[in-house]
Amino acid sequence: MRNLVFIIIFLLLSSCSDKPSSSLLEQIRKKGTLTVITRKGPTSYYQTANGKLGLEYELSSRFARYLGVKLKLLVSENPEDIIPMIVQGEADLAAAGLPITNQRKKLVRFGPGYQTVETKLVYRLGSGRPKSIEDVIDGQLEVTSGSHHAERLKELLSVHPDLHWKETRNLNSTDLLNLVFEQVIDYTLVDSNTLTLFKRYNKEVNAAFSVSAPMQLAWAMPYSKDDSLYNEVQNFFRMLRSTGELAQLIERYYGHADQLGFVGTRLYIRHIQTKLPRYQIQFQKAAVKYKLDWRLLAAIGYQESHWKPLATSPTGVRGIMMLTLNTARQLKVDNRLDPEQSIFGGAAYLRSILNRLPDRIAEPDRTWLALAAYNVGYYHLRDAKKITKMRGGDPDKWIDVKKNLPLLSQKKWYTKTRYGYARGKEPVDYVENIRIYRDLLVWHNEKQNAYRNTPQVQLPEVDSTVF
């Protein structure tokens, strides 16, 4: 009887094992949902009036589409909770800008690295730049609890036993950067990518020195004998690299972030407050008429003339949008020095360039290429695209074309083009400046609630992922 019981149990177990269980990847596809943990912040995920943005959000959305499923996003309020949530199986993976550390590798399995960062000790300009950890021991240092920043400080204790700091659960890296900016605390630790984006708006906050070696950001998954999801993540990032899409996404968020210096940023913010209100309604109306983002038009106007209606260059371009005489005539602009005519003319000109570009060029590259043509001329842009293709790049991608535009000033290359010499470095700086001007304007409007006392017009729907 005892042997019979063992035989029955063995047969039952055998019958169960003969029935293959579905892999984790198959389960995700069967339920039609990929569950991803992320966190709020400029480097990962945030919401705007026109939609959701953030590098981690865009990568997660693309991965869900790659798998043919919908994205279910869980947003953690505190980074301390993300790793435990993955360990407990509350999500399929974490896409939250997590650096790979030795401590974390004991708990979760990381996918391929896709961005390199360093941990920086941050201080406020004017308060004295610390040169080493010893210089911050007497100051007020605060980090987010459970973060790899706190982990790094604990490692430093063995060498610097007098080092002390405060850990908080309620504030993220951006919050702590704001406290340094407001001089509530002396120092914090942040990753270099977070600092790069923060410094677009607050140049007074700066890095003193690095407190870590370069680290790779990666997605985190639970440890499992089932490699199906892990392997698909590997395949996904391999595809993004081979197509250049990963580089394009990183360039979209970081390529222009440090374009302006301290003085330039402060001057621009002051001009937003003092000059822009005179012309904002015209930018908004022109945006409606030509289906553009008014902040983009305003950024072009600032790059062209610093919003000076009587501006005139030595080459004869004039007005807020710096139209040439020929362009003004084509657009039926009678007076280039009239602010409204200039703004509407500039909007019409940008729209005409956008319409001329081949339909295959997607956003945001379409806008960046159009801006380059606004500056250097449509046919010089075509020459730059030709050189890009000759050198193995993608002529429809800004990240590739901007590397080749400067070659229009080199005889070796411009002699191979139809339209010849051009100062190709200028449109590169032109586009990158406009990108940061637009970002700063969006940030300032949101922070100051600029619309409250400004006459409003009905604005068009704008896809914020374009920018």
Domain segments of the chain as ranges: 24-115+217-254, 119-212, 262-466
Q: Tell me the CA distances in angstroms from 466 to 75, 197, 252, 463, one per residue in order.
A: 23, 18, 9, 6
Q: Do domains 24-115+217-254 and 119-212 have the same CATH topology?
A: yes
User: pLDDT for 184-203, tens place per residue?
Assistant: 999 999 999 999 888 877 78
Tell me the per-residue pLDDT of 259-290, one tens digit each, with 9 for 90 and over: 666 667 778 888 999 999 999 999 999 999 99
pLDDT at 259: 61
Tens digits of residue pLDDT in 94-126: 999 999 999 999 999 999 999 999 999 999 998
What CATH fold (topology level) applies to the domain 119-212? D-Maltodextrin-Binding Protein; domain 2 (3.40.190)
Residue 298 to residue 167: CA distance in whole angstroms: 42
Residue 432 annotated among the catalytic residues of the structure: no
Answer yes or no: is pLDDT of 396 > 60: yes
Q: Which of 304, 432, 446, 461 is catalytic?
A: 304
pLDDT digits (tens, 9 = 90+) for 308-332: 999 888 778 899 999 999 999 999 9
Averaged over 2-28, what is the pLDDT? 57
The pLDDT assigned to 11 comes to 42
d(CA 97, CA 43): 7
Is 170 or 68 the better-scoring residue by pLDDT?
A: 68
Q: Tell me, what amino acid is at 267? A: L
**Helix residue ranges, H only, 357-407:** 365-376, 378-390, 398-404
Q: Which residues contact 28 (CB under 8 A, 6 or more apart)?
A: 34, 67, 69, 92, 229
Strand, coil or helix: 206:
strand
Give the whole-angstrom CA distance, residue 374 versus residue 303.
12
pLDDT, position 450 = 39
Level-2 CATH architecture, domain 24-115+217-254: 3-Layer(aba) Sandwich (3.40)
pTM of the model: 0.70
- CA distances (Å), 331 to each of 160, 342, 343, in order? 68, 10, 12
Instruction: Report whether pLDDT(302) > 80.
Output: yes
In the prediction, which pLDDT does 76 show? Answer: 87
**Residue range 428-456: mean pLDDT, rounded:** 74
Three-class DSSP category at 462: coil
pLDDT at 453 over 80: no
262-466 in CATH: which number?
1.10.530.10
